[in-house]
Amino acid sequence: MFQQDQDIFKVFLGAVSEGVIVVDEHQNIVETNDPANRMFGYRKGDLLKQPLNVLIPHNYHAGHGAYFDGFMKKKEQRQMGQGRNIFGARKDGSIFPLEAGLNPFTIYGKDYVMALVIDISIRKEQEEKIQELNLDLEKKVIERTQELDKTILELEVENEKRIEAEEEAKEALKREQELNELKTKFLSMVSHEFKTPLSGILISTMLLSKYKLAEQQEKRDKHIKTISDKVHYLNNILNDFLSVEKLEKGKIKYNPTTFKLSKVINEVVYNANMLLKEGQKINYPKDIDSFSLYQDEKIVELALSNLVHNAIKYSSENSYVDIDITQDDIRTIFRVKDNGIGIPIKDQKNIFKRYFRAKNALLSQGTGIGLNIVKDHLKNLKGEIYFESEEEKGSLFTIELPNKATV
Amino acid sequence: MKKVLLIEDDRILRENTAELLELSDYEVITASQGKIGVEMAKLHFPDIIVCDIMMPELDGYGVLETLSKKKAQSLFLLSFYRPKQNAKILEKGWI
């Protein structure tokens, strides 16, 4: 072909570094240049008049035919590197990736396509390597990320544990501090509660030793009585402490018996009379001979004594303490009323708590145990205790108890 | 005879201490509360006041505070309980 311009044409073909393959409209090869021959592994001239299919891997033949026909109809240029991956077949049957730019042209009334072809196996290999490296990298990133996630998770768990431990430590510290505070208060309370009567006893013994004359028997008797009273008083405090322990462990055994209420009242009033301040008086019912109870007598006495002693302790000289008792078929109600310092509203909700002392009672003797014990006992005996109180006006404590104990 | 005012809320302790002081040849007057004690101090001009610290209503410090405003006598505070309280008393220069 191209007889006239063959020389020029040959120069062009030789100068082009890409492979050049020219095919006619029947896909027969009409011209190739050296780079194209080398690329596909043919000797110079071997490809002429061969169908283009020899350069195309078998599995692409069918597809390529249809594509070629479509391309010939449109006759548009197609630049290199556009479109899908295409492959070439070498003479020895090996397949390699290539890029082809297609340039249709017409000469002497015949249609041709000039294909510029580049072997891109090296590039592809590099691309693949890059892709592989990328994949590797991604994999590593994922791995590292997972490792990091795991570490973070571990750290979080660790952190949570630490926070928990810290909170536990704080809680323990708080408990310790509260306990310490309670201990300090308790010790100060105990030392006050014990030292005052002990000092009384001590001075009584000192005085006893001074009264040596026969006619001083009266004085000696008085101090012996003081000592005996104070020993009883101390014994009662100790009993209170011990019953706290017993109540807490549920170790108390109640011992119900049938007894006359008047007997208990007389006992309580008799003992309370010794504690009266100057001008204080206890009013108590004297017409209760018909009242009797089936209860633990000691507990009833303890509860009433507590209320009466409180009434005396927390009211001033020249005041009255009123005891009132009513009974119906089921219950007995005891009321103890005073006109003393009362309980501040703020402290009323805590008044039955162990060791609690109302603000206005802190400087008076007391352990803060009495009412706590009474309440616990009464609860065990299916009874109740409640009160009304106004600061600086006085208090009214009420105990309700079933006539027949069921314990 | 020196006159002692004894302010103490515990009856037995008050009576016993008074008795002991009387046997030691002091003239003793007693008060069962801080407030009463202050009144008695104003009335009887005791040479010495022996006063409990922990008392309801007006406590030992209150008594001292009230009395030191008026030209009072030598004053003793009785403190059985806490070393802290004693430190407080010494701090203020009281005996």
Q: What pLDDT score does A184 carry?
A: 81
Q: Do A207 and B32 touch (CB under 8 A)?
A: no
Can you say whether residue A216 is alpha, beta or left, with left for phi > 0 and alpha for psi between -120 and 50 degrees? Answer: alpha
Q: Which of A196, A207, A364 sits opposite B19 (nearest CB)?
A: A207
* Residues within 8 A of B (CB atoms), A 198-237 only: 199-200, 203-204, 206-207, 210, 223, 226, 229-230
Q: What pLDDT score does A189 carry?
A: 76
Q: What pLDDT score does A4 carry?
A: 64
| Closest C-alpha among A33, A113, A122 to residue A70 | A113
Q: What pLDDT score does A108 carry?
A: 84
The residue of chain B with its CA nearest to that of A206 is B20
CB A116 within 8 A of CB A80: yes
Confidence of residue B84 (pLDDT cuts 50, 70, 90): low
Q: Mean pLDDT over residues A309-338, rounded?
A: 94
Q: What pLDDT score does B72 carry?
A: 53
Q: Is the dihedral of CA A72, A78, A84, A89 positive or negative?
A: positive
The residue of chain A with its CA nearest to that of B53 is A363
Q: What pLDDT score does A256 carry?
A: 94
For residue A94, what are the contacts with CB-CB under 8 A and spacing of at least 6? none
CB B41 within 8 A of CB B64: no
Q: Mean pLDDT over residues A37-44, rounded?
A: 90
Say yes or no to pLDDT of A297 above 90. yes
* Secondary structure of residue A130 in the 3-state scheme: helix
Model confidence pLDDT, tens digit, residues A99-131:
888 888 888 888 888 888 988 888 888 888 899
Q: Which of A69-83, A274-288, B75-89 has the lowest mean pLDDT?
A: B75-89
Q: What pLDDT score does A363 carry?
A: 73
Q: What pLDDT score does B58 carry?
A: 84
The rounded distance, in Å, linking the Cα atoms of A277 and A255 is 34
Q: What pLDDT score does B54 carry?
A: 78
Q: What pLDDT score does B95 carry?
A: 46
Say yes or no to pLDDT of A394 above 70. yes
Confidence of residue A407 (pLDDT cuts 50, 70, 90): low
Q: Which of A149-153, A363-367, A401-405 has the lowest mean pLDDT?
A: A363-367
- How high is the mean pLDDT of chain B? 78
CA distances from A361 to A154, A351, A358, B7, B16 (A): 56, 11, 5, 18, 25
For residue A198, what are the contacts with CB-CB under 8 A and spacing of at least 6? A230, A234
Mutation to test the A interface, candidates B8, B12, B17, B61, most A Cβ within 10 Å: B12
Confidence of residue A178 (pLDDT cuts 50, 70, 90): confident
The rounded distance, in Å, linking the Cα atoms of A62 and A71 is 14
Q: Which of A8-12, A117-121, A212-216, A251-255 has the lowest mean pLDDT?
A: A8-12
Q: Do A207 and B54 touch (CB under 8 A)?
A: no
Q: Do B32 and A199 touch (CB under 8 A)?
A: no
DSSP B18-78: HHHHHHTT-EEEEESSHHHHHHHHHHH--SEEEEESS-SSS-HHHHHHHHHHS---EEEEE
Classify burial at A210, counting beta carbons within 10 Å of its beta carbon; exposed 0-12, middle 13-18, buried 19 or more.
Answer: middle
Percent of chain A surpassing pLDDT 70: 97
The residue with greater pLDDT, B65 or B69, is B65
Say yes or no to pLDDT of A186 above 80. no
Q: What pLDDT score does A3 carry?
A: 59
| Closest C-alpha among A194, A199, A271 to residue A240 | A194
- How high is the mean pLDDT of chain A? 88
Confidence of residue A364 (pLDDT cuts 50, 70, 90): confident
Q: Mean pLDDT over residues B34-52, rounded?
A: 88
Partners of residue B5 on adjacent β-strands: B29, B49
The rounded distance, in Å, linking the Cα atoms of A174 and A169 is 8
* Residues within 8 A of B (CB atoms), A 319-378 only: 341, 360-361, 363-365
Task: Quote the radius of gyration of chain B (alpha carbons, Å).
Answer: 12
